[in-house]
Amino acid sequence: MKVFDLTLPFDEHSPVFPGAPNPKISNLLTIEKNGFNELILSFPSHTGTHIDAPFHCIKNGKKLSDFDISYFVGNAIVFDCKNQKEILLSDSELSIIKEDDFVFFNTGYSDNYLKPGYFSEYPVISEKTADALVAKKVRVVGLDSPSPDKEPFKIHNILLGKNIPIIENLFNLSKVTINRFKCIISPLNIKNGDGAPCRVIAML
């Protein structure tokens, strides 16, 4: 079995949506002064590789704590969508998606996460594909860019409105593209959270 981390490093350069405060990581205690090390962290709930719960965009939508942890263990499939400014799955691609799959899109865009313009030039998911994923009853949708859409965030509302969480800023998807694999998504257990950073692990 091979294990891959599909998560961006979490540090003060982790991407946050424009207008949100950057994450801050600093020493709270040190071995030299206190006998042990401890950090203090401050960051928005949608920092780096993170998951959006329905409550992020849907009034009275499900919060992270409303999902049983078993929801985030399942089978994932990754589609290669490089060079697509608007992601549109073909009928043959849609045919291999199974109910309850985690569906991830490898756009190659995560290579730009430290570059200016990261939040302006990213590819998006087409409304047709979003509707098809809802019809397929997938469990989670994720991609290696900061968002599946742009204002007015229609794709967020299509997916979250059907209780399909969204993972943004995935990483290393080129290592697992097309393969079906066991996947574990481990969001921070934030009570009543609208979203949270998460670790996403692929096991092939």
Q: What CATH number corresponds to the domain at position 198?
A: 3.50.30.50
Half-sphere exposure of 87 (CA within 13 A, CB side): 32
Supply the pLDDT for residue 84: 96
Q: What percent of the chain has pLDDT over 90?
A: 96
In whole angstroms, what is the distance from residue 110 CA to residue 144 CA? 5
User: What's the whole-number mean pLDDT along residues 109-115?
Assistant: 95
Does residue 139 lie within any of the structural domains?
A: yes
- Under DSSP, is residue 41 helix (H, G, I), strand (E, B) or coil? strand
Q: Is residue 34 part of a domain?
A: no
Closest CA to 172 of 99, 113, 86: 113
Structural domains counted in the chain: 1
CA distances from 202 to 4, 35, 82, 145, 182 (A): 5, 37, 20, 18, 6
The answer to whether position 60 is within a domain reads yes
The verdict on residue 39 lying in a domain is no
pLDDT tens-digit map of 11-26: 999 999 999 999 999 9
Band (162; pLDDT cuts 50, 70, 90):
very high
Task: Please check whether residue 73 lies inside any domain of the structure.
Answer: yes
What domain range is 129 assigned to?
Answer: 3-10+45-203
Q: SS3 for 54?
A: helix
Strand partners, 182: 75, 203
178 pLDDT above the threshold of 80: no
Distances (CA, A) of 109 to 48, 82, 83, 150: 14, 8, 10, 15
Contact in structure between 79 and 89 (CB atoms under 8 Å)? yes
The answer to whether residue 28 sits within a structural domain is no
The span from the CA of 75 to the CA of 97, in Å, is 10
Residue 179 has a pLDDT of 75
- Longest Cα–Cα distance of the chain, Å, equals 62
Q: What is the rounded distance in angstroms from the CA atom of residue 188 to the CA atom of residue 198? A: 6
Q: How far is it, in rounded angstroms, from Cα 146 to Cα 155?
A: 13
**pLDDT value, residue 142:** 98
The answer to whether residue 68 sits within a structural domain is: yes
Give the model's confidence band at 177: pLDDT under 50 very low, under 70 low, under 90 confident, else very high.
Answer: confident
Residue 55 in any domain: the answer is yes
Least confident span in 47-56, 113-122, 147-156: 113-122
Does residue 94 surpass a pLDDT of 80? Answer: yes
Segment 166-188 shows an average pLDDT of 94
Q: What is d(CA 111, CA 131) in angstroms, rounded to the nearest whole number?
A: 28
Using the predicted structure, report yes or no on whether residue 38 has a pLDDT greater than 90. yes
Check: pTM over 0.85? Answer yes or no: yes
Q: Rounded distance, CA 10 to CA 128, Å?
A: 33
The two three-digit tokens of residue 197, written as one number: 């950073």
